Structures are given as C-alpha cells and as structure tokens.
Amino acid sequence: MPYPNAPIAAVEPPRVNRTGFGIGLMILGFMFFSVADATAKYLTRDFQPFQIAWFRQLGLLSAGIWFLATRGLPVLKTKRPGLQILRGCAAAMSASAFIFAVGYVPLADAVAVSFVAPFAVTILAALILRETVGIRRWTAVTIGFIGTLIIIRPGLGLLHPAIFVVLAAASLFAVRQILSRILGPVDRTVTTITYTAISSVALLTVPMLFVWQTPASGQQVLLILLLACAAGTGELLIIRALELAEAATLAPLQYTMIVWSTGLSWLVFSQLPDGWTLVGAAIIMASGIYTLHRERLAVRQRRHQ
C-alpha cells in the first residue's frame, strides 16, 4: 500500500518546529514509497505477491531493528500487545492485496483508487470509535467515493477487476489507521512501527514459504534490494518529518504520491491515466484534503472541551 506505517494521526507534537524541512522530508518519503510500489509492480512479473510483500516489509523491519539498536528493548514495551499484532497483520494483508492488484492494474490508477482509505477511516471512526462526524465530512466522503467511481467506471470493463482488490487493500489500511488511533494515546510511535514490522514479516513468512522462488538473476536481486531499501528509507524519512512538523500539516502531502506514481507509471511501464481517471483523482484529492481539514478542526475542538 502506498502509505507509511507510521500512525500519522497519532504521533506526538514535534519538539522543534522546522516545518519547511519536515515538508521536504515528507515529500521525499512518499517519493520513495512510490519507487517501492513501482518496483513491486515490476517484480510481479517473476514473483508471487506474498513473496514481494515479504521483501517490502523487510525494509520496514530494518527500521524496527534500527529502533531496537539505538533505543533498546524498551521500544517493545506496549500496553496493548494484541492490538499491536493485529495492526501488523492488517499491514501485511493490505500490502499483499495492493501488490496483487498492481500486477494487473496500472500503477497510477491503483494509487488513485487507494486514496479512498481516508474516507473509510472516517466511516470506521464513526462506527467503531463513536466519533462525531458532521454533515460536511459525510459530504466529503460521498464526493470522494464518486471520484472513485469515475476512475473505476464499473460495468464498462475499462479496468481489470483487480481494481476492486485495491479497495480491499484500502479498507485494510483504514482498519490499520483506526488501530493507530486507539494505540496512539498508550504507546509510542516507534513501538507501533516496530511491532508492525515484526508481526507483518512473521505473518507473511508463512505463505511466502509455499510460493518462494529464488531470484535467478542479478537484476532480480537488485530490484528486491531496491524495493526493501526504498520502503525502509521512505518510512524513516516520514518518521523524521513527523518529528519536525505537525502531523496535520503533513498529512495532505500523501496525495503527492499520485503525482509520483503517475510519473513512474509513464517512465517504467509506458502507462498514463486517461482524462476521466485524472478527473476522479482530482476529486478524491480535493475531498480528501477537505476531510483532513475537518478532522483537524474536530481534534482542536475536542482539545478545548
């Protein structure tokens, strides 16, 4: 999935306000995630999605190992171990579903559709967390889904049916974000990321053993290393960005992935989205940014109560 494992909505406020630098790191982080997604799509020609997802999560695991090496075993101290493991399982399934889908669907289209996730988060927050969602946010959610329908255009047969697997991946990401909101007040961000890394790799190891295919060329090895390194680097850049600038300021930057993915889709796969897809993506971006804005206002209102 084209999203960081860092729980953006739940990170602590930055100690030092270096917003400009944080924004730059955030944009770079999402660029690396786009590179990881493009590499994963390329690897679907030779490997099964579970194995590719396992390689990708190894990049996240390297970040977890770095935290353990630099901050020690207290990183693993958690008040909700069951929810931490569940979040890692959701991350593993989300990544696997997205990688399966991009094996059949153009990268830019898949990334654009995956951005229904923030709207799914809003719905789940209302249903599970009992958060109050006003008419404006519900309207933004509705408009966002209309944008998604414009991209998919169900019934016309313009996109492979695997595009609906992207919706499943986005829904799993939304579950992961809801778990982040629950864990945010009780566990540190580095703890959540480390548990996500360990549990997701552990879960993916089981099916990966049944589909394992040994890389047969140096090019495949290099692509696998690129996948893991890009994913790990993107994760670390975004974590650092969240330490320098407010999460509410950085969250809308996730939509830069649509730009990065479109460029990579053209450069690597000679695929460009059509006009209707661009229209749908623009609607999703606009309604998504508005949703984030309304959520930020809602958080501020709760803090003042």
Query: 12-43: string of b/e by CB count within 10 Å (b at 16+)?
Result: eebeeeeeeebbbbbbbbbbbbbbbbbbbbbb
Q: Is residue 173 part of a domain?
A: yes
Q: Is residue 3 part of a domain?
A: no
Q: Is residue 235 part of a domain?
A: yes
Q: What angle do CA 143, 146, 147 make, to 5 degrees?
A: 90
- 305 residues of the chain, pLDDT tens digit each: 556 665 554 444 444 457 788 888 888 988 999 999 999 999 999 999 999 999 999 988 988 888 898 888 888 999 999 999 999 999 999 999 999 999 998 888 888 888 887 778 778 878 887 777 778 878 888 888 888 888 887 766 667 888 889 989 988 988 888 888 888 788 888 888 899 999 999 999 999 989 999 998 999 999 999 999 998 888 888 878 877 877 667 777 788 888 888 899 899 988 888 888 888 888 888 887 887 777 667 666 656 66
**What is the per-residue pLDDT for 247?**
66
Q: Is residue 197 part of a domain?
A: yes
d(CA 224, CA 154): 34
Q: Is residue 214 part of a domain?
A: yes
**What is the per-residue pLDDT for 11?**
45
Give pLDDT tens digits for 176-186: 888 888 887 88
Q: Is residue 120 part of a domain?
A: yes
Q: How many domains does the chain have?
A: 1
Domain that holds residue 42: 8-304
Count CB neighbours of 142 within 10 A. 11
Q: Is residue 215 part of a domain?
A: yes
Contact residues for 284 (Cβ-Cβ < 8 A; gap 6+): 112, 115, 116, 144, 147, 148, 151
What region does 49 belong to: left with phi over 0, alpha with psi -120 to 50, or beta? alpha
Give pLDDT tens digits for 231-244: 888 888 887 887 78
Instruction: Give the amino acid at 219.
Output: Q
Q: Is residue 117 part of a domain?
A: yes
What region does 78 belong to: left with phi over 0, alpha with psi -120 to 50, or beta? beta
What's the distance, Cα to Cα, between the start and end of the chain in Å?
Answer: 36
Cβ atoms of residues 42 and 227 within 8 Å: no
